[in-house]
Chain A
Amino acid sequence: MNRFQLTLKTCILIAALVILIGLPPVASALEATFYIGLFSRILIYALAAVSLDLILGYGGMVSFGHAAFFGAGAYVVGILAFHGIEGSAVISWPFVIMGTDNALISWSVAAVASAGLAFVIGAISLRTSGVYFIMITLAFAQMMYFFFTSLEFYGGDDGLSLFTRSRLGHMDLSNDAAFYYTCLGLLIGFLLFSRRLVNSRFGMVIRGCKENERRMGALGFPTYRYKLVCFVIAGAGAGLAGALMANQTEFVSPSLLHWTVSGDILVMVILGGVGTLVGPVFGATVFLLLEEFLSRYTEHWMLFLGPILIFVVLFARRGLYGSFVERKADNG
């Protein structure tokens, strides 16, 4: 049984990888390049969903505000690019930060800025737990939504257009296939990193906190600190996803931080399988494909998605990947 599952899991992963790697040339050959863009979006949301699953599935922290970090990462790239074109400084005091469209810089800054934001929000929110935590993360994400809405200089409600995608060495990211492979590479990199993470000493502590925080405290772990670090790592992951999203659409706006985006990412995680690393990738794929194709048949596709969600909660709690492939919490 165990061996069978192992092979099933490996088969599914290899098949998924082959499909994802082969997608751009096949789509180009069939003149369906639209799919390259769609799947870039899927990979980006998958990255955000995996980062959420680190805190949700492994740390047991039900955050309903992940869009804050996603959107902040996107805005960092947008704002840096905006000043990069102008050749002006983003801030000039206490030190000068010039605008840039260099991906290595702007994407890193996006991840770091989102991590910083996660540190502040996490430091306050993690003082509580349960329904408080859910409401507070949601409220702070809403605060960030209003914050970016109020930035009239950067387009306010209307958002900000990027003139081009970021520069990444000699790669031309305005080529959709190149951008797609960049997203795929980053997603796989983040998955491998997360896999190490959840099995490391740190990861075991985080899982222990989900299981029984009181016991972890009695063993001598300062649980708050560990959870906060995990929250910050997840924030950085979402920030990176946001940076990619800004490049994918070449546009950033407060709608990236809308509370429904937090909800969508949460749904992807649960749809795929909480506490499995690959699950959220499947969740993001299914969710966005459903959105894409249901919305072709009816503009009221949400009318069906809502009951589907309720159904999943009531009857298929481990999610798709979790139900069919994994049984217990995934070790990577």
Chain B
Amino acid sequence: MDESILKARGLTKAYGALKATDTLSLEIRTGEIHAIIGPNGAGKTTAIGQLSGELTSDEGTIYFAGRDITRLPVHKRACLGLARSFQITSILLNFTAEDNVAMAVQARDGHSFKFWKSARTDRKLRVPAREVLKEVGLADRADIVADRLSHGEQRQLELAMALATRPALLLLDEPMAGMGPASSRKMVDLLQTLKGRLTILMVEHDMDAVFTLADRITVLVYGRAIATDTPENIHTDPAVRKAYLGENG
């Protein structure tokens, strides 16, 4: 049994002369929460884009659950179980919270070339959608149009949509971005409950959150992974301290 769900080798993406990611290799083990940290411009969002399929890699290969997905488009990767949240919240703003999640359930439930039966009363969509909303703590907000939810709630909703697709790997691009301390703590608690049940790869600036949640951390500098280790070891790694925290020796 291969215990890693995702293996990326030598990923490179260049914008002109600038290499956003440079022969980046990553390995995500099944069941872990893996965090990518690094200074601004280290290529974290580019890496997420390459893994999710929004960006095509110049070089490198990506294996997901044993399959080569390097050339697959976004939606095919998603169908294989690769879900993601965006750095800037990306939900269906004019849909209710429940409709948003029902859409994700629908995505998991095979093709949607079904033209006749109403999706609004379909219990196969609605029941699971409500369950997931309850799981992320939005049960009482189900009928609110997403536009009217608070920023924190919108981020929870986006997570709910990702969860509803029952992903094998969840890519979270700065899940705490733009959140106040209270909502951040709520999100950390929420992610904590998922720990062990779900494999998560997250990019995050909030170091408290990262060191609370992550099983392993990869440090990215100038598009290269300079270290991958447990939080304790990363904390004391001299190379990391030098490159990332700007300390000398």
On whether A328 and B94 interact (CB within 8 A), knowing A219-B78, A219-B161, A220-B79, the answer reads: yes
Chain B residues with Cβ below 8 Å from A215 are 86, 90-92, 161
A199 at the interface (CB under 8 A from B): yes
Chain B residues with Cβ below 8 Å from A196 are 115-116, 118
A-B contact pairs, 8 of them (CB 8 A): A196-B116, A199-B120, A200-B115, A201-B119, A218-B54, A219-B107, A220-B76, A226-B113
Assuming A201-B106, A220-B79, what are 7 further A-B pairs, CB within 8 angstroms?
A: A201-B117, A201-B125, A204-B99, A204-B103, A205-B103, A211-B92, A218-B75
Check B90–A218 contact: CB distance below 8 A.
yes
Query: Contacting A212 at CB < 8 Å: which of B92, B99, B112, B116?
Result: B92
Distance in angstroms from A46 CB to nearest chain B CB is: 22
A229 at the interface (CB under 8 A from B): yes
Chain A residues with Cβ below 8 Å from B91 are 212, 215
Chain A residues with Cβ below 8 Å from B133 are none
Chain B residues with Cβ below 8 Å from A221 are 75, 107, 112
CA of A223 to CA of B125, assembled, Å:
20
A197 at the interface (CB under 8 A from B): yes
Check A205–B112 contact: CB distance below 8 A.
yes
User: How many cross-chain pairs have Cβ atoms below 8 Å apart between A and B?
Assistant: 99
- Across the interface, name the chain B residue whose C-beta is closest to A197: B115
CA of A208 to CA of B104, assembled, Å:
11
Within 8 A of A (CB), among B177-212: none
Check A202–B113 contact: CB distance below 8 A.
yes
Check A212–B119 contact: CB distance below 8 A.
no
Chain A residues with Cβ below 8 Å from B113 are 202, 226, 229
Judged by DSSP, the binding face of A is: helix
Check B119–A199 contact: CB distance below 8 A.
yes
Within 8 A of B (CB), among A174-228: 196-197, 199-205, 207-208, 211-212, 214-223, 226
Which 4 residue pairs spanning A and B have beta carbons closest together?
A220-B78, A219-B107, A211-B92, A201-B112
Check B112–A211 contact: CB distance below 8 A.
no
B95 at the interface (CB under 8 A from A): yes
CA of A221 to CA of B74, assembled, Å:
9
Check B103–A219 contact: CB distance below 8 A.
yes
On whether A226 and B112 interact (CB within 8 A), knowing A200-B119, A218-B78, the answer reads: yes
Within 8 A of A (CB), among B201-247: none
Chain A residues with Cβ below 8 Å from B83 are 218-219
Chain A residues with Cβ below 8 Å from B92 are 207-208, 211-212, 215
- Across the interface, name the chain A residue whose C-beta is closest to B114: A201
Within 8 A of A (CB), among B71-115: 73-76, 78-79, 83-84, 86, 90-95, 99, 102-104, 106-108, 112-115
Distance in angstroms from B61 CB to nearest chain A CB is: 21
B50 at the interface (CB under 8 A from A): no
A286 at the interface (CB under 8 A from B): no
A329 at the interface (CB under 8 A from B): yes
B154 at the interface (CB under 8 A from A): no
CA of A226 to CA of B103, assembled, Å:
14
Check A202–B78 contact: CB distance below 8 A.
no
Check A220–B115 contact: CB distance below 8 A.
no
Chain B residues with Cβ below 8 Å from A211 are 92-95
- Across the interface, name the chain B residue whose C-beta is closest to A204: B119
Chain A residues with Cβ below 8 Å from B115 are 196-197, 200, 202-203
Distance in angstroms from B5 CB to nearest chain A CB is: 17
CA of A205 to CA of B75, assembled, Å:
13
- Across the interface, name the chain B residue whose C-beta is closest to A222: B75
Binary interface encoding of chain B residues 154-169 relative to chain A, with 1 for a CB under 8 A from any of its CBs, else 0: 0000000100010000
Chain B residues with Cβ below 8 Å from A202 are 112-115
Check B114–A200 contact: CB distance below 8 A.
yes
Check A329–B103 contact: CB distance below 8 A.
no
Q: Which of A199, A201, A223 has the largest number of chain B CB atoms within 10 A?
A: A201
CA of A229 to CA of B114, assembled, Å:
12
Check A208–B93 contact: CB distance below 8 A.
no
CA of A208 to CA of B94, assembled, Å:
9
Check B108–A218 contact: CB distance below 8 A.
no
Distance in angstroms from A236 CB to nearest chain B CB is: 13
Distance in angstroms from A43 CB to nearest chain B CB is: 24
A331 at the interface (CB under 8 A from B): yes
Chain A residues with Cβ below 8 Å from B78 are 217-220
CA of A290 to CA of B32, assembled, Å:
66
On whether A203 and B119 interact (CB within 8 A), knowing A218-B78, A220-B75, A220-B108, the answer reads: yes
Distance in angstroms from A111 CB to nearest chain B CB is: 16
Chain A residues with Cβ below 8 Å from B73 are 217, 222
Distance in angstroms from B85 CB to nearest chain A CB is: 9
B122 at the interface (CB under 8 A from A): yes
Chain A residues with Cβ below 8 Å from B76 are 220, 222
Within 8 A of B (CB), among A225-254: 226, 229
Chain A residues with Cβ below 8 Å from B117 are 200-201
Check B84–A218 contact: CB distance below 8 A.
yes
Q: Which of B78, B91, B112, B125 has the largest number of chain A CB atoms within 10 A?
A: B112
Chain B residues with Cβ below 8 Å from A220 are 75-76, 78-79, 107-108, 165
Chain B residues with Cβ below 8 Å from A212 are 90-93
Chain B residues with Cβ below 8 Å from A201 are 106, 112, 114, 117, 119, 122, 125
Chain B residues with Cβ below 8 Å from A207 are 92, 95
